[in-house]
Amino acid sequence: MVAVRRAIVPLLLAGALLLTGCSDDAPAAVPGTGVTPTATSVTPSASLPSSPSSPSSSAAASSSAPAAPAAGKVVVLDPGHNGGNAAHPAEINRQVPAGRGQTKPCNTTGTATNAGYPEHAFTFDVAQRVGKALADKGIRVVYTRQNDTGVGPCVDRRAAIGNDAAADAVVSIHADGSEAAGATGFHVAYSSPALNAAQGAPSTRLAQTLRDTLRTSGFTTANYIGSNGLSARADLAGLNLSTRPATLVECGNMRNATEAARMTSADGRQQYATAIAAAIEAYLAP
């Protein structure tokens, strides 16, 4: 989950109402995309030139398969929170820049299922699975954290990792912890109002592609937040500070028994990861 939600609930409700019926959900509103990208269309392209930057790479040379459409792109995966956060409150609670002139705590502990399976473990495992799938397609994957036992990094540092990598797409992976009765489903957040060009159409298209692909993969959109699986947010530091196309996926509600069961199982986490990886690929090579 993402902290400081309670304080902006009235704003969110207003935003959700504004989104209803506007162009947010319409693919035609995104410049340059006349059609909704499909995750399943793979066009073998034998005419693609081999990478000029790796003539001595035996790994690259040994592959005779056509280059995947998104090969060579850079994706930053940001698994929310970290396993050591709870034990380091001073480090985690210090204020850092959050964009829009605001500050926020460096990081938070995240949520957990009612049985105690923590969000940080879920996000780390799903990110690893997404990264493996993307790497198999020749995509370069950068993670904002390398294990699930450390502290942080702070939210501003996570954004900087994506910016410094010149990422073609940045996807933060979270799970929510809503106590509202019956709250269930996923949603995808993006920065709004956009603070730079990357936060505009590119981030919106990335969010829409994730939403569409998760939905066609069998996941249901949230019934308690956002609108139609999308959530325009002005309060998320990682998105505010990004100069690359960036979104944040809340995979589901860990307090919901059905979703908790899915998240707790390796098969379930692979289902999330497969969908997220397919969405990123579809975004990178529509």
Task: For residue 221, give both structure tokens.
Answer: 């959109």
* Contact region with Zn ion (CB under 5 A), list: 72-80, 144-152, 180-188, 269-277: 72-80
Residues between 29 and 68 with contacts to Zn ion, criterion CB under 5 A: none
Instruction: Name residues contacting Zn ion, limited to 124-153 (CB under 5 A).
Output: none
Catalytic residues: 250
Min separation Cβ 250 and Zn ion, Å: 7
Q: Is 15 in the site for Zn ion (CB under 5 A)?
A: no
**Of the two residues 73 and 174, which places its CB atom closer to Zn ion in the complex?**
174
Tokens, residue 36: 């909704």
Q: Indicate whether 80 belongs to the interface with Zn ion (CB under 5 A).
A: yes
- Minimum Å gap between C-beta 126 and Zn ion is 12
CB 175 within 8 A of CB 119: yes
By CB under 5 A, residue 162 contacts Zn ion: no
Nearest residue (CB) to Zn ion, 69 versus 252: 252
Tokens of 260: 């908790």
Among 79, 110, 185, 238, binds Zn ion (CB under 5 A): 110
Q: Which is nearer to Zn ion, 125 or 168 (CB)?
A: 125
Using CB under 5 A, count the residues that bind Zn ion. 4
By the rule CB under 5 A, 236 interacts with Zn ion: no
Question: What does the alpha-carbon distance between residue 33 and residue 260 come to, in Å, rounded to a whole number?
Answer: 35
Q: Tokens in use for 189?
A: 């957040």
Return the range that interacts with Zn ion (CB under 5 A); candidates 109-117, 179-187, 221-229, 266-274: 109-117
Contacts of 196 (CB under 8 A, 6+ apart): 243
Q: Are the CB atoms for 150 and 84 separated by under 8 Å?
A: yes
Q: Does 118 bind Zn ion (CB under 5 A)?
A: no
For residues 110 and 99, what is the distance between their CA atoms, to the nearest angstrom? 21
Are 186 and 252 in contact by the 8 Å Cβ rule? The answer is yes
Contact criterion met (CB below 8 Å) for 105 and 94: yes
DSSP-derived secondary structure letter, 155: H
CA distances from 247 to 57, 149, 179, 210 (A): 33, 24, 24, 9
Residue 37: which residues within 8 A CB-CB, separation 6 or more? 209, 212, 282, 283, 286
Is 174 near Zn ion (CB under 5 A)?
yes
Q: Could you identify the residue written with the tokens 């269309």?
A: 41
The residue range among 46-54, 147-155, 173-181, 185-193 that interacts with Zn ion, by the rule CB under 5 A, is 173-181
Segment contacting Zn ion (CB under 5 A): 79-87, 162-170, 212-220, 267-275?
A: 79-87
Q: How far is the CB of 123 from Zn ion (least distance, A)?
A: 7
Q: Which is nearer to Zn ion, 37 or 252 (CB)?
A: 252
The verdict on 1 binding Zn ion (CB under 5 A) reads yes
Q: Which residues of the chain form contacts with Zn ion (CB under 5 A)?
A: 1, 80, 110, 174
